[in-house]
Chains A and B, each alone.
Chain A
Amino acid sequence: MRILTIVKQVPDSNATIKVLAEGKGIDFAGLKLVADPFDEFGIELAVQLREKRSDVSEIVALTLGGEKAGETLRIALAMGADVGVHICDPKLETKDELFNAAVIAEAMKKDAKGFDLILCGKHNIDLDAGAVGPAVAEFLDLPHVGAVTGLDVSADGKHFTARRRIEGAEEVVECDLPALLTIEKGLVEPRYPSLPNLMKAKKKPVTLLTAGDLPGVAEYAETTKFVSISAPPPKPECKFIEGEPPQMAKELVRLLRDEAKVL
């Protein structure tokens, strides 16, 4: 079984993000960048599958992003991926997830050995969208299961059952491999790469791909273009409700009914 994990470099969720003048983008100077936490679930899952099974032949980590995204690939390799693929070309860097998915799918088509299981996060925490997984699956004519919280791959490596959460319910689905899964929090807890493993990761092979290597991308266009980013309008100051709890409760209910009109 060959596994591909898709990983994106994103700003750390605790970092303070600054917007560039006129909202042209965010200021990456000094910004702490990390592997997307949801994508990390995918890497961890791949590594755990290999630890549990004898038929995982290779784990490939793939990223699409600028030169710095190579650091994210190193994290994936230090966690246990064997080889990396870095699609690195300013022409291919967009905030259009469908286009990004098409680029990733084209890179996967170049891989002659093919993948049995493709893993990524249920969404990335920069664009808050989640289109990459389903769109990659669509471009490769593969089934996908979104927001997976449990996985059991059959002994022969040809079949799986997965658990997923939907609004108000949980489903158990089954499907043949190859397939793509997007991973929800709770399935696995990503390991911290150790220092020796980070050192070893530097020696693992990484293939660099540019637009020239992916002629199929020419068939796709960036159709959703980023215009600007801005801080949401500031919330009005919080209105503190005074008084003892019984009065407080009465006043809050009155405000919710008469002022906020949400009841």
Chain B
Amino acid sequence: MTSNVLVFIEQRRGKVHPASYQLLNLATQVAAQTGAQAEACIVGEGVASLADAVAAQGAKKVYIVDDPVLALYRAIPYTKALVAALDAAAAKILLVPTTFMGRDLASRVAARKRAALAIDCTEVRQDGADLIAVKPMYAGKFSGTFRLTGDRLQVVTVRSNAYSAAAPQTGARADVQSVALSLTDRDQRLKINEVTATGSGVKDVTEADIVVSGGRSLKSAENFKILYDLAAALDGAVGASRAACDAGYQPHTRQVGLTGKVVTPKLYIACGIDGAIQHLAGMRGSKVIVAINTKKEAPIFKVATYGCIADLFTLVPLLTEEFKKLKEH
């Protein structure tokens, strides 16, 4: 086994999840410590064209598993594909973005390879042959440190924005290797019948760099429009508290919190959200948090970077205008 670090490049319909590039940067740093190299694996249909972009982000070698049956993510075919790439790469460490796909795939791959596994890590470092991983526990109220033993493959999923991507080196070349895949009928027991985009083209909260969220004090589904306007000005996504979703103002697909989605964007703007424990659990890992609330004692201000004690119906449209001005300059 070499000590090469393999990054799973998550893509859907040819669009690479930005966390993949953050992990390539991390892989480059980790590999440098042992004189190994950062490598990447792309799984999908018609994905060979992504190799140059992946090379530009630091991958020295790119393994491509390209097959029409891999057009959509399914756990077992993707597990087989990634395991084939791992075997070809003889990698010691596998880094995967913490996404729905990443958690699902990493768990299955790690089980198949009898690997050590840590999910949703915010920090990863080597300690001899072992890997030390730090990850949130108890809904982000604590962080746990784990030791992944070095006598086997180590699989780690890493949170979006825990590391930053390197500036792309255009023209950087990687060695590209195509990896063959043979699937049995049994591997394809599960079939995907239908895929529907939720929220018609609006970004998902787990994918956006900026999330604008609203609470019950928005008072209606219609009033969420001012948050959609703000999110549009920032190229961000709209989220909501459980109370707002339960009241029917927003679909549960947009719920941020313990029982909704956990998000870690660069910027989280909480509008009229008091900050129940269950909501804080879903967003406290955000890099910068802005809270807009009329109540100074609201718990949201305990986790906020910047606080505005103001009526959101007045302040949010003003903010949208300011951000638009900034964009024009």
Contact = CB atoms under 8 A, between A and B. Distances in A.
Interface of A: 11, 13-14, 17, 19, 23, 26, 37, 95-98, 101-102, 123, 125-131, 133-135, 137-139, 143-147, 161, 165-176, 179, 185-186, 220-221, 223-232, 235-236, 238-241, 245-246, 248-250, 252-253, 255-257, 260, 262-263
Interface string B71-87: 01111100100000000
B138 A255 contact: no
Contacts of A170: 195-196, 198, 253
A246 B101 contact: no
A174 B191 contact: yes
Nearest to A98: B117
Interface residues of B, number: 93
Contacts of A257: 326
7 contacts: A129-B135, A135-B108, A138-B112, A144-B75, A144-B108, A253-B323, A263-B323
CB-based closest 7 A-B pairs? A168-B204, A131-B107, A223-B116, A134-B107, A138-B111, A249-B318, A129-B119
Interface in B56-103: 72-76, 79, 99-101, 103
A123 B143 CA distance: 17
A99 B72 CA distance: 29
A241 B308 contact: yes
Nearest to B267: A262
Interface in B135-149: 135-149
Contacts, number: 260
B43 to A, nearest CB: 15
A134 B142 contact: no
Given A168-B207, A238-B307, A232 B267 contact: no
B287 interface: yes
A175 B194 contact: no
Given A176-B189, A231-B143, 7 more contacts: A96-B117, A129-B103, A167-B206, A185-B259, A229-B144, A235-B305, A238-B305
A151 B318 CA distance: 44
Nearest to B120: A128
B304 interface: yes
A248 B310 contact: yes
Contacts of B302: 235, 238
Interface string B173-212: 0000000000000000111111111110001101100100
Contact of A139 (B111, B119, B194): B111
A13 to B, nearest CB: 6
Nearest to B189: A143
